[in-house]
Structure 1
């Protein structure tokens, strides 16, 4: 259900949206505890989608222990490790074509299912859980050469403060650099009670000691010194191309590669992503 909220981009009047607003506000007023529990399940439960691509020959499947439970990971290749982190309601399988390309370049590609995604443990998905999962993955390897992120996975990667990511190159695909604006506008467009949404957020902040207002991928990206390449489709319906464009214009170490006709998901497998990875490793080896 949450996928219909976060991936709903229509601003047109909708009777269904109005009914959602009235019913969730009434629910929160009459039974606040039950309403919060229901909202948590609705808003924080990603869709566990089936694998998007055929698993390449030679992929090693493993598990990694994390604060959010056991994560399922997939590695391919030999050499320095590139970590690949997917987005909301995604899976590591979305990266299989890119993993094959990375392995051919002499690197190890390590992708994993976020908490509550794919074959990993967990009931709920959110930025604190994504960051905890990424921390565990980084702890499981000796060194990291760089990171590839998609959509919400880019926000959690930039938020991550693990020492192994400091000064490492990033390849960001359809990033969510304006995370808070994107999140709140998506919920508002759905018609869901914003007061009820704030109640869920407050519980999450208390549980993880992670203030939502501290999440600012755009600002934190501007503070990074290592090269970042963004690949973003000009007509992406779910994350704003204009924000990526502004980042490239304002940040010295950020380069934007624009695509057309790739959308939000297909862009992960496009040739521009493969070429951008090659440029990143070439710059890192200079």
Structure 2
């Protein structure tokens, strides 16, 4: 089996100067573009399992290293930084057929949809839906008291340049105007399953799959789940394109 670097060497590699630093992308194949978005402390190569099934379905596939991850430069990373990076890149690549995102990359995609990114379908693997909840959980995890938690929340808001509430689903759900697939292990010990359930309940065009036994990261390596997600991008995206071309709302 080829290594990650060997596999990436077969793609078109590009460098993208942005406000978040220089991002690095790899594109395989030709056809409608599907963008893969990695999670926290990860990199583009961790999404490689989805490339071949999407290529076989007739799509081109683009992966990128987000700000301060992998080969990308930059000294700051957050959901907002990743979301803005996704927005900046997809403006170069328009139109984008679909997005497939993992963990924090999923939350970044929700931010990008809210900020104007339009796709025909998206897949969300083990993703959180509320920055407020994430920050409070982290504060509790490190033992901060009420005053310490409030100070931490204020620091995070300064770091991302937005109120925490701007990254909560109540605000972000206005960007969910396309079919979506949500995949989450009920026993995920990194992002609670309640996040997936909340996203599904607030997204009329979504489907929810309980991926028992796959945890938070094995979602990216399970052949059956990879095939299912790739099929969703192809079938849901094709239905959406047909609907839009027939005169429905985009």
Aligned to 2:235: 282
Q: CA RMSD, aligned part only?
A: 2.4
Give the length in aligned residue pairs: 234
> Scaled by the length of structure 1, what TM-score is found?
0.73
- Gaps of at least 5 residues in structure 1 are 1-51
- 1:51-106 CA-partner distances (Å, limit 9, x unpaired): x9454262222211110110111111111111111111111011111122212211
C-alpha displacement of 1:193: 6.5
Q: Secondary structure at the match of 2:139?
A: helix
Identify the match of residue 90 of structure 1 among 35, 39, 42.
42
2:133 is the counterpart of 1:202: no
Q: Does 1:126 align with 2:78?
A: yes
> In structure 1, what is the Cα distance between the partners aligned to 2:205 and 2:104?
21
Q: Does 1:186 align with 2:138?
A: yes
Greater Cα offset, 55-64 or 106-115: 55-64
Secondary structure of the residue that 2:165 maps to in structure 1? helix
C-alpha separation in 1, matches of 2:6 and 2:139: 34
Q: What's the counterpart of residue 5 of structure 1? A: none
CA 1:121–1:272 in 2, change beyond 3 Å: closer, same or farther?
A: same
Over residues 141-193 of structure 1, what are the superposed CA-to-partner deviations in whole Å (9 max), with x where a residue is unaligned? 13100111111111111112443x22531100001123321232123212257
Distance 1:273-1:194 versus aligned 2 partners, 3 A rule: farther
Q: Does the alignment pair 1:265 with 2:203?
A: no
Partner of 1:172: 124
Q: Which residue of 1 aligns with 2:193?
A: 241
Residues of 2 paired with 1:166 and 1:93: CA distance? 24
- Offset, 1:212: 1.8
In 2, Cα distance between equivalents of 1:249 and 1:201: 27
- Structure 1 stretches (4+) deviating beyond 6 angstroms? none
Where does 1:143-158 land on structure 2 (aligned, <5 Å)?
143-158=95-110
Answer with 208-217 or 236-245: which moved more: 208-217
Change (3 A) 1:207 1:188: closer
